[in-house]
Structure 1
């Protein structure tokens, strides 16, 4: 068993026990954490508390977790849009609504489940729950991902992410009319001090750089290309919201009362070198809800 302890600070007071732990441990689902409480694996100052218990400053939350070696991720025959595959890696075009990898307590329906059904082996560098995963995109973001089948490919691709030589370009539909044809947002990102479920621009965060180019302006909206220099969690979403142009459909960092199924963000271009030194580059057009939104805007423009 793995033992974890968290001391509740004044800023964290009055949070629900299960919500607090799911924020501290984002790879664990709330439903999984709730199942640990009756097993007396979660204690507050040595006492069993309900999932809805409101935490107080100064209390100590103690958590015991079963080791990850007990977890088995089941291969599932799920639809996969494969753009390229060789002995070292596989490139896929991820659909909207698909989570990239399982989290403890939530093991099904992810890209990893689908990949394990399709291929015999994935790189083991990232452990049981994230085999082969070199980089991620959000559940509601569509587009291109490269996954490592071998450890040498994982090391090769990770090095390109670290030195920023991997080419990653996104299409994003944002609110408002972006005035500059191009620009750069250089602002550090870290976990929000006010809401641990969110990322935010923070002085003590990690450096994050997003370049952008305007592709098309519409009435009340702008289609942009966002080019990642770094790849922090929710980077494009937070950066664009910070210049008052949040993504359409982004309920977390944008407008709360929109219709739709999440942000209109598409990982359109991915370029990298294989372990053999071959340069590959892939491009896919926007799909589904994003494509329909652009069709509606084009039609409105012609009226």
Structure 2
């Protein structure tokens, strides 16, 4: 069952610059066919000069267009919670939040409550926004760092299109076992044949590429490690964890892939930077966040 959010609807407004059909102007703003269907059948409106029109209407230069999206529905699994959020960026359409380790991005059977998505729903409700949590860039439960969230379905669609084109840059930092050289890893990733959770490098898998750059190296408590920066060209499940394990440099704390847990009790992986061009404003968005304390404690001994 879904809960209909009883708050204000999201609206796009613009002035027609050229004579064209209304549907052509709407498509130019990136409104998806699915969203148009929702507008038509679920309570939205398309207005021209304060009069409701259909998409076949012929716009003239100077016509004022307003697209009102229907109120969004929130799944019952996304019960709002009200924990503080570490917000790094916010505008009318986007949130970028620093997720701590040991918190799920979305609810799961193992962790049905207190996910980042639950907290975001609570935050948006407190702001009086008709929105649910549209997660754009998801992180594993024990990975810390930046998560991008759209406040409404239209922005989620626009950001998803950026992702498909590889135009959301995701920069990570990790601490891995041993001394690793800077390199590019290109190795296809597939589901493990022995686990529903694990992934593995397999020729039948999907293409995956990770760039690895050495930042520093050290040794503590008898464990030699490397501090590396990683850039993802693709976004396969567990991509960094699988690729680093594949080349013999498993992440510290990553017990799923055989990592040493002496120095840290979770995979030492952090999304340190998100960069993209805002699909509505056209402004460059470049957000960075420092390593969390558990990883800093290790690398500071270099």
Secondary structure of 2:206's aligned partner: coil
* Contact 2:145/2:272 (<8 A) preserved: yes
* Contact 2:145/2:270 (<8 A) preserved: yes
Q: Output the CA distance in 2 between the equivalents of 1:122 and 1:234.
A: 33
1:202 aligns with 2:206: no
1:60-71 paired onto structure 2 within 5 Å:
71=76
Aligned position for 1:262: 266
Aligned position for 1:141: 143
Instruction: Give the alignment's TM-score, normalised by structure 1.
Output: 0.69
Q: Output the CA distance in 2 between the equivalents of 1:283 and 1:230.
A: 20
1:232 aligns with 2:236: yes
Secondary structure of 1:185's aligned partner: strand
1:1-303 paired onto structure 2 within 5 Å:
71-104=76-109, 106-120=111-125, 121=129, 131-178=133-180, 180=181, 182-219=182-219, 220-255=224-259, 258=262, 260-274=264-278, 275-295=280-300, 297-298=301-302
Deviation at 1:133, TM superposition (A): 1.0
Length, aligned pairs only? 223
Q: Output the CA distance in 2 between the equivalents of 1:144 and 1:97.
A: 14
| Higher strand residue share | 2
Instruction: Give the alignment's TM-score, normalised by structure 2.
Output: 0.69
Secondary structure of 2:257's aligned partner: coil
Which runs of 5 or more structure 1 residues have no equivalent in the other structure? 1-67, 125-130, 299-303
* Contact 1:175/1:222 (<8 A) preserved: yes
Q: Output the CA distance in 1 between the equivalents of 2:262 and 2:230.
A: 22
Q: Output the CA distance in 2 between the equivalents of 1:122 and 1:261.
A: 38
Aligned Cα root-mean-square deviation (Å): 2.2
Deviation at 1:256, TM superposition (A): 5.9
Higher radius of gyration, 1 or 2 = 2
Which runs of 5 or more structure 2 residues have no equivalent in the other structure? 1-72
